[in-house]
Amino acid sequence: MGRISDGVSRLHLRLLFSVGATAGLTDGQLLERFATHGGEAAELAFAAIVERHGPMVFRACRGILRDDHEAMDAFQATFLILLRKGGTLWVRDSLGPWLHRVACRAAGRAKVNASRRRVHEHGAAERGNRPEQSAIPGDLAEALHEEVDRLPNHYRVPVVLCDMEGRTYEEAARYLGCPVGTVRSRLARGRERLRGRLIRRGLAPSAGALGLALSARAATPAMPAHLLGSTIQLAKRILVGSTTTAGEVSASVLELAAGVRRIMLMSKLKCVLVGLLAAVGLAAIGAGVLAQQTPQAGDQAVSKPLRVAEGDRPWIRTLPNGATIEVIGVSTHPSGPQTWWGPEGSPLAQPLCDPSATDLAKAGTSIFGGKSIYRAVVVRVSNLPPDSKHGLWMRQSRGWYEPATRDGKIVPGLSVVISEHPKDLAASALHFEVATGPWQVVEAWDGRNPGTRPAHGSVPNSLWGRAIATKKGTTLTVTHDIEGTAVRLVAVDRKGEEHPSPERGGSRLKGFTQLEGEFDLSPEEIQEYRLQQRHFEQIDIPNIALEPTTTE
């Protein structure tokens, strides 16, 4: 791998600032942008993912391989696999656990390949002098990542999120969809199980040493500065349609990526086979139990009311704030009188709404190379809290949502999501999110002494620009490192009344977001500026049929 050129560095900076903000976007949202947008938007989303998770991926590769060049090959193979599979992945919040697993697979395969090369070049005698597992402390990093990868998912994921990526317990709880106490419990048990496995391998790290080895502060060589840029450049060539040849990326990287994908496919097929066998066994057992419980002709059958659990209503979801989303039906787009079916695929006799006034197929360029299907998904949104903001979209698609109409009149609470999907996609998920609740003041500034405000306690790092008087009032630029929440900038007048700035996207670089606020007040009328945040609540409804079921 050669030194990354200044041109690539400039490309990276241009990508980060030219397409819009990635502030506050989860990995799932970045992955959706990558899968559904073309050109620089996809490049930006992929670059943000690489920058966010690159250090952790490199630590895993370097820890297992203990060779910089082999680790860089495994690193690029990991993100090449993400590039190929990104359009079919679904994550709620963080790609970290998935990327760590792929990195371990890539590094493990690279280790086997290197061992085979040594046997071929130097003979089996040298191999006999290289122990498979060493009990010296220097092998801790290698054993650590291998054993983390072998943990059950309910322990592995919290360890990767909290220990390796530095996520808070609250962030991990949102990702896992469980209480914070459950995260703490699983994390403690996962660490203890991990330590026990390391002891069985001849390593005996203390709890403190184990925590340090897991963390980003582990004494592992830093990720080479050029690796990020070269990986993004590789992604750019692939995204614009260039063929990935040995002239563009090393043959070892291509071989690694192909080999790991084969391993992942075989593992997936194995899980499917086990699931099918289990389903057959359960069906047989269930038939026997049902036969034993079927009342005889003389028995008195007592009818009881049936409780409907949320699992029995798969097309309705309610967020903790009370907002409810319901999927009503699906149609081809543009829709017609007899083009509708339910979210499970059963045909509907009547159209649910008027056809959209805009044909998505004619609005912009297809992102799937013309191999697309266009769908309209009608949803009902209800019980939105006052002063809340909501959003909804289909996964693995591009498009928009708009109010649904019937006979030209807007139907309250009804929306239609217009989307383009890959032609071979049979089902997709609807994402629904609501930002609600009171805005919380993160930091306040009186307008004097602009400059950097270092983080302290729960207050983030921030850089406050100088308030500038304009013909309309005042503009102010603030840079902050808040992530995962809705953020706004507010001016407070001399009477204590808040004046929020109109919502705008913000530029983002290396974990910092820049916001520009505009206020209809002069600087003299403003006594204080406030940076405020509130959290999103979000959920997905999966398995929405993109094709109607057919009856034989």
Q: Are 81 and 73 in contact (CB under 8 A)?
A: no
Q: What is the mean pLDDT of residues 52-81?
A: 90
Give one DSSP letter per residue of 281-326, joined into a string.
HHHHHHHHHHHHHSPPTTSPP---PPP--GGG-TTEEE-TTS-EEE
Q: What is the CA radius of gyration of the chain?
A: 27
**For position 351, what pLDDT does the model report?**
92
Does residue 353 share a domain with residue 404?
Answer: yes
Does residue 365 share a domain with residue 484?
Answer: no
Does residue 463 share a domain with residue 404?
Answer: no
Does residue 458 share a domain with residue 361?
Answer: no
Dihedrals φ, ψ of 207, to 5°?
Answer: -60, -40
Question: What pTM, to 2 d.p., does this model score?
Answer: 0.45
Q: Cα dihedral angle (10, 15, 19, 23), rounded to 10 degrees?
A: -110
Residues 154 and 175: their CA atoms lie apart, in Å, by 12
Q: Which helix (H) or strand (E) holds 493?
A: strand 485-493
Using the Cα atoms of residue 324, residue 329, residue 330 and residue 334 in order, give the sign of their dihedral: negative
Residue 309 lies in a domain: no
Q: What is the mean pLDDT of residues 101-107?
A: 90
Residue linked to tokens 């990104």: 86
Residue 296 lies in a domain: no
Each residue's pLDDT tens digit, 163-180? 888 888 988 888 777 888
209: containing domain: 6-269
Residues 21 and 248: their CA atoms lie apart, in Å, by 30
The two structure tokens encoding residue 165: 């990526």
Does residue 368 share a domain with residue 408?
Answer: yes
Q: Which residue has the higher pLDDT, 336 or 267?
A: 336
pLDDT at 221 over 50: yes
**For position 413, what pLDDT does the model report?**
92
Domain end among 269, 285, 305: 269
Does residue 219 share a domain with residue 72?
Answer: yes
pLDDT at 235 over 80: no
pLDDT at 290 over 90: no
Domain end among 269, 289, 324: 269
Average pLDDT, the chain: 76
Q: Total domain count for the chain?
A: 3
Most confident of 91-95, 153-157, 287-291: 153-157
Each residue's pLDDT tens digit, 367-396? 777 788 999 999 999 999 888 888 888 988
Q: Which residue has the higher pLDDT, 88 or 516?
A: 516
Does residue 16 share a domain with residue 141?
Answer: yes
**For position 117, what pLDDT does the model report?**
72
Does residue 250 share a domain with residue 169?
Answer: yes
Residue 368 lies in a domain: yes
Most confident of 38-42, 284-288, 341-345: 341-345
Question: If you ran DSSP here, which 8-state letter would residue 86 be given?
Answer: G
Does residue 423 share a domain with residue 325?
Answer: yes
pLDDT at 499 over 90: yes
Residue 43 lies in a domain: yes
Dihedrals φ, ψ of 120, to 5°?
Answer: -65, -40
Query: How would you classify the pairing of strands 372-382 and 409-422?
Result: antiparallel
Q: What is the mean pLDDT of residues 498-521?
A: 78
pLDDT at 147 over 80: yes
Residue 375 lies in a domain: yes
Beta strands in 38-180 (DSSP E): none
Does residue 221 share a domain with residue 100?
Answer: yes
Each residue's pLDDT tens digit, 463-479? 888 899 998 899 998 88
Name the amino acid, one letter, at 180.
V
